[in-house]
Amino acid sequence: MHPSLLLLLLILLPLSAASSLPHHHSDFTKSRLRRSSEPPREYVEIARPLSTDSLTPSCTLQILSHSFGNCSAYRAPTNTTYSHPLNCRWSRAVLHLSAAANGSQRDRIAAVWLSGAEILRTSPPESTSNEAVWNVRKDVTRYSSLLRKSNLTLSVMLENVVNGVYHLNLTVLFYDVATNETAVSVNSPLSLFSPNRKAMIRELGELQPVSIPENYSLEMDENPADLIIPISASGEEGFWFKIQSQHDAIYHGIKIPPNTYRAVIEVYASFHGYDEFWYSNLPDSYIQLNHLPTKRGNGAYREVVVRIDNNVAGSLIPFPVIYAGGINPLFWEPLVSIGAFDIPSYEIELTPFLGTLLDEKVHYLGLGVSDALSFWLVDANLHLWLDTKVDKVQAGVISPGDPSKSEIERESKFQQLDGKFEVEGTRKIEVSGWVNSSAGNITTIVTSKVKLENEIKLKSNGTVKDIDHEVKMTSKVTLKSDAGQIISYVEVEKKYPLEMTITSLPGSGSDDYLMITKLENSMEEERKNGTFKSSLTNTQKSNGWMFVEDCNVISGASSTHQTYEIKDSFGCYSRDVLAEDGSIKSDTEYLVCAVVAAS
């Protein structure tokens, strides 16, 4: 997964010098930048506080303590048995991963599966001979149907291929939010910091425009599914599927219970190898005409497509997570990049397709990646809600959507190593279907749009590379009664803007390079649920340089400034962190966000 010096130089950095580099793979190393006497370094990912952070767990269950030694890659995951704790009343669950690494380590991909269903995908930081420590806390309430069972297989994959050992502990913390005096709703992250929490929760309950049965709530974390079906591999080398090319789609046969009234597929996808920096990949024509020895081509468009029986049901373009060795490894000390410790998953509403799926026959859910190069790791969880009052519900598809509404435009202009490359892709889907259950005849309407715009400029004989990349995904799920009245809706808009400039200057020798990088990466989200609104803006701005000699980072300097702000109908929370040259210089939390005066 970690970029080799050769491939990083070939695509991210100087193209004029890259053509003379040897054909080999090797990792960057930062060992010369550290002293063995340094204390352990704690790495952190800035993320939203969990709604349970101020609560005392009802019970705590340690489920795994394991050391991953050298050569744990390309083997079966480490397994243990999970059983629900006895005499423990709970309504929310948090997975806590605590880890430490010693020796020279690179960024790797890791995941946790429960009975084949993925519940966490993550990547560790880089480390040298000094110990690195980190923690990941994730709300896993949506997997409650699995967490309430016993004698399930819990599997962990962490591919260690170099010297040193990863020590990992997994714990689940269970919280009885309903009876806790300080309980808060996950829909309102700001209510965690308010002294008037109970009144805010009551107000939140009044925000729905029309009364709706509780079991029809569209919030997965508030209303967990009754059944989860893994769309995953056999587990011999992890439960993820490895996508090697755009033609390498997978199909998984499923048969769902006849009393299913809602279905959502949750997709995990991460990119590696020749597609680790897919948003910076250049067209094959440019690579071939300039005789560059790289396989990082196919341009800069990628889209994960979900199919039902070969018909497109939805799609997504993933957030550009940068692993700890990516772009400039000095950027991610000790702040890791957005999403590195908790790699996002993506939800696609499949309820309108229940008219097809509820015929008591086997249907095939497919996952593929448009224009993919080797390799992507993908799997999914199918979340199903069951009507316990009937043995079978009736359902029908009203509008199946039109998968042909996908347009991709590409434009390339280049002369030798300088040029400009643009790609724009859009897919629109609108699908609707009805389900007649004990709650009545309810129609679900799903509208979604995925759009990617990418521009890459190469200047100064290919030694300067500018990348301007933005993804926008919008989705709206609307529930209507048999009379056509809107019962509820959830509307989500996500934006992933990324800007990057990389300049490379040759050193005195054939293997010496000075790399100067400027990077801005953001995750933005706006969410509406009835009259409840929330927004998230998470931005990292990084600047730095590193001098590389024979694959070793000899010297360098870096700074990463991260701003995190989340607002909802009740208030605001923000955090501002500055890291320079491997240490935190400032870290400030605010319970009131800044107000910008109108000019």
> Per residue in 535-544, pLDDT tens?
999 999 999 9
Q: Is the predicted pLDDT of residue 174 greater than 90, yes or no?
A: yes
Q: Tell me, what's the pLDDT at 76?
A: 86
The whole-number pLDDT of residue 35 equals: 47
Percent of the chain scored above 90 by pLDDT?
72
Which structure tokens are listed for 120?
């966490």
3-state secondary structure of 197: helix
Quote the pLDDT of residue 595. 52
The model's confidence at residue 275, banded by pLDDT at 50, 70 and 90, is very high
Beta bridge partners of 548: 513, 553
pLDDT of residue 214: 58
Phi first, then psi: give them for residue 269, nearest 5 degrees.
-145, 130
- Residue whose C-alpha is closest to residue 566's, from 50, 97, 213: 50
Q: pLDDT tier at 17 (50, 70, 90 boundaries)?
A: very low
Instruction: Give me the sign of the Cα torsion angle 378, 121, 235, 383.
Output: negative
Residue 202 has pLDDT above 50, yes or no: no
Judge whether residue 210 has pLDDT over 80. Answer: no
Query: In degrees, to the nearest 5, what angle opens at C-alpha 582 toward C-alphas 581 and 587?
Result: 100
pLDDT at 199: 42
* Residue 180: pLDDT over 70: no
| Confidence category of residue 566, pLDDT binned at 50, 70, 90 | very high
The DSSP H or E segment spanning 567 is strand 552-568
- Quick one: residue 269, left, alpha or beta (phi over 0 = left, psi -120 to 50 = alpha)? beta
For residue 400, pLDDT beyond 70:
yes
Which pLDDT does position 519 carry in this prediction? 98
Please give the mean pLDDT across all residues of the chain.
87
Average pLDDT rounded to a whole number, residues 237-255: 96
| Among the ranges given (24-28, 103-107, 231-235, 409-413), the one the predictor scored with the smallest mean pLDDT | 24-28
Q: What is the pLDDT of residue 591?
A: 83
User: How is the chain split into domains, by residue range?
Assistant: 5-590
Confidence at residue 416, expressed as pLDDT on a 0 to 100 scale:
97
Taking CA atoms, 273 is separated from 109, 214, 436, 486, 521, in Å, by 12, 45, 47, 46, 21
pLDDT band at 597 (very low <50, low <70, confident <90, very high): very low
**Which of the pair, 126 or 243, is modelled with greater confidence?**
243
Report pLDDT digits (tens) over 43-71: 999 998 998 998 999 999 999 999 987 65
pTM of the model: 0.91
Higher pLDDT, residue 473 or 20:
473
Asked if residue 573 has pLDDT above 80, the reply is yes
CA distance 481 to 497: 38
